A and B are shown apart, each in its own frame.
Chain A
Amino acid sequence: GAGVSQTPSNKVTEKGKYVELRCDPISGHTALYWYRQSLGQGPEFLIYFQGTGAADDSGLPNDRFFAVRPEGSVSTLKIQRTERGDSAVYLCASSLSPSNEQFFGPGTRLTVL
């Protein structure tokens, strides 16, 4: 694909439900990042993958958040027992290697009712 894609574009769920957000990075990009952007704020780092492994998950807010990248390409961000405070835009970015430019996807807007 031409760029980073994220699905769904928008997700509305009820408090307490489980959601999965998907990121398809640019082909060949080994580094993948998840960021969360709350209303009126800049994006905040959640987790970084280098290949299949999570090299840094220090930004995940609590153990309800989990992310995987089993084959070193597509990544899924999983949120259990969603809370209203989880409502935000979740951005994914990928780069050829950690020192290269990060290319961002269009994000998934998550709304927890």
Chain B
Amino acid sequence: AQTVTQSQPEMSVQEAETVTLSCTYDTSESDYYLFWYKQPPSRQMILVIRQEAYKQQNATENRFSVNFQKAAKSFSLKISDSQLGDAAMYFCAYLRKGSNYKLTFGKGTLLTVNP
């Protein structure tokens, strides 16, 4: 079974600074997706960024980028120029291609942004 581990229950960053959230996963599959989701207090899960395992290039979305290390099964999220609106729970998630496409989530990291 696939597992996703987020070893940082909480992180904090100063506004305008950069922060990196860690994620490791375990799988025997070679073709899969990895995601970072943001969950603000409103509870709505919002997709931040997606990475396909067969793509070596790291995904980027504006201020958000990932460091995908397939051999190490590591998938970290870097948030640059942090903003107050970035404060939320962040979940790393795994999805195996070709199955029913159910997401497997980590336990999350609570990010606080200090003004």
Contact = CB atoms under 8 A, between A and B. Distances in A.
Interface string B43-63: 111110010000000000000
Contacts of B91: 42-43
Given A42-B107, A106-B42, A56 B47 contact: no
A56 B102 contact: yes
Contacts of B25: none
B50 A106 contact: no
Interface string A87-99: 0010101010011
A25 interface: no
Nearest to B102: A45
Describe B's contact surface by its main secondary structure.
loop
Interface residues of A, number: 27
Contact of B107 (A35, A41, A56, A105): A41
Nearest to B45: A104
Interface of A: 31, 33, 35, 40-45, 48, 50, 55-56, 59, 89, 91, 93, 95, 98-99, 101-102, 104-107, 109
Given A93-B45, A106-B43, 15 more contacts: A40-B107, A42-B91, A43-B45, A48-B100, A48-B101, A50-B100, A56-B102, A91-B43, A98-B101, A99-B97, A99-B101, A102-B101, A104-B44, A107-B44, A109-B43
